[in-house]
């Protein structure tokens, strides 16, 4: 049987973003567990305009090609990990826009969070994000990767140098996503 697909969604689109090396570290860590087919989904590449669909997304009557492509991408996912910065105590607007575009595509799939920032490690952004993803019937996993003072973990080439706490948290979260994605699959309409 094909492995389920874990999509790692990079929320930050800022030039020089920390989100990219954080997501690359997490992708490699998750892929090593071999439970999922792991994909990086970079919202900078997805490049959606501000929501410009005339119909509510639950109707799935998309008129724009960019929405149809975004729908097909998210539909493919069996579990998500949102790699999110904290901007002004919340998650960033690009991610909110990307979430709002779709409806059924997100449902009954587990969501994990890798957050980063200063002393709060992006945890305030995650609290806000949980409120939104549950409205879309995603199921957030409790176990998370929270990275404080992320800038101190970057080397001269801009790569993330993880510590043992981060690696352990990542493995725990992926294991939990695997359990939940198997359970939730039964609640989703057959493809
Ligand atoms: C608009 C803006 C708001 C920010 N607000 C917060 C904040 O509320 N809490 C925090 O810990 N860091 C905050 N920061 C610092 C970010 O944690 C840091 O810039 C981080 O690198 C942002 O992620 P990114 O590089 O992936 O975009 C903010 C940064 C920006 C650009």
Q: What are 112-124's pLDDT values in tens digits?
A: 999 999 999 999 9
Reported as type and span, the H/E element at residue 9 is strand 5-10
Q: Which domain holds residue 19?
A: 5-187
Number of folded domains in the chain?
1
Q: Find residue 42's DSSP bridge partners.
A: 10
Average pLDDT score over residue span 83-105 = 98
Measured from the CB, is residue 85 less than 6 Å from ligand 1? yes
Confidence check: pLDDT of 137 > 90:
yes
Residue % of the chain over a pLDDT of 70: 99
Confidence category of residue 1, pLDDT binned at 50, 70, 90: confident
- What CATH number does the domain containing 102 carry? 3.40.50.360
The pLDDT of residue 176: 98
Tokens of 11: 């929320």
Say which residue, 191 or 48, is predicted with more confidence: 48
Average pLDDT score over residue span 94-102 = 98
Measured from the CB, is residue 86 less than 6 Å from ligand 1? yes
> Which parts of the chain fold into alpha helices (H)?
19-33, 43-46, 65-76, 93-100, 123-135, 164-184
Instruction: Return the ligand 1 atom nearest residue 22 CA.
Output: 26
pTM over 0.85: yes
Confidence category of residue 190, pLDDT binned at 50, 70, 90: confident
The pLDDT of residue 191: 52
CA 147 to ligand 1 center in whole angstroms = 12
Backbone angles phi, psi at 100, to 5 degrees: -65, -25
Mutate to test the pocket of ligand 1, among 15, 42, 92, 117 (most ligand atoms within 8 A of CB): 117
Between strands 37-42 and 79-84, the pairing is: unpaired
Q: Is 54 helix (H, G, I), strand (E, B) or coil?
A: coil
Query: Does residue 39 contact residue 6 with C-beta atoms inside 8 Å?
Result: yes
User: What distance lies between CA 55 and its chain's CA centroid?
Assistant: 25
Confidence category of residue 189, pLDDT binned at 50, 70, 90: confident
**What would the pLDDT profile of 9-65 be if each residue is shown by its tens digit?**
999 999 999 999 999 999 999 999 999 999 999 999 999 999 999 999 999 999 999
Average pLDDT score over residue span 164-181 = 98
Average pLDDT of the chain to the nearest whole number: 97
Tokens of 8: 């790692």
Query: Does residue 145 contact residue 116 with C-beta atoms inside 8 Å?
Result: no
Tokens of 78: 């069996």
Measured from the CB, is residue 87 less than 6 Å from ligand 1? yes
Average pLDDT score over residue span 120-131 = 98
């Amino acid at each position: 049987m094909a492995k389920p697909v874990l999509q790692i969604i990079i929320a930050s689109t800022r030039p020089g973003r920390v989100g990219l090396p954080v997501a690359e570290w997490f992708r490699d860590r998750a892929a090593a567990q071999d439970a999922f087919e792991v994909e990086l989904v970079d919202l900078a590449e997805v490049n959606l305009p501000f929501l410009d669909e005339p119909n509510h997304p639950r109707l799935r009557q998309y008129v724009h090609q960019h929405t149809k492509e975004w729908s097909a991408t998210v539909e493919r996912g069996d579990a998500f990990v949102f790699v999110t910065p904290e901007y002004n105590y919340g998650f960033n607007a690009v991610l909110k826009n990307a979430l709002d575009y779709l409806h059924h595509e997100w449902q009954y799939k587990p969501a994990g969070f890798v957050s980063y920032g200063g002393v709060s490690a992006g945890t305030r952004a995650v609290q806000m994000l949980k409120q939104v993803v549950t409205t879309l019937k995603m199921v957030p996993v409790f176990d998370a990767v929270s990275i404080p003072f992320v800038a101190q973990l970057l080397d001269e080439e801009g790569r993330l140098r993880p510590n043992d706490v981060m690696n352990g948290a990542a493995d725990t979260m992926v294991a939990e996503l695997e359990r939940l994605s198997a359970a939730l699959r039964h609640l989703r309409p057959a493809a």
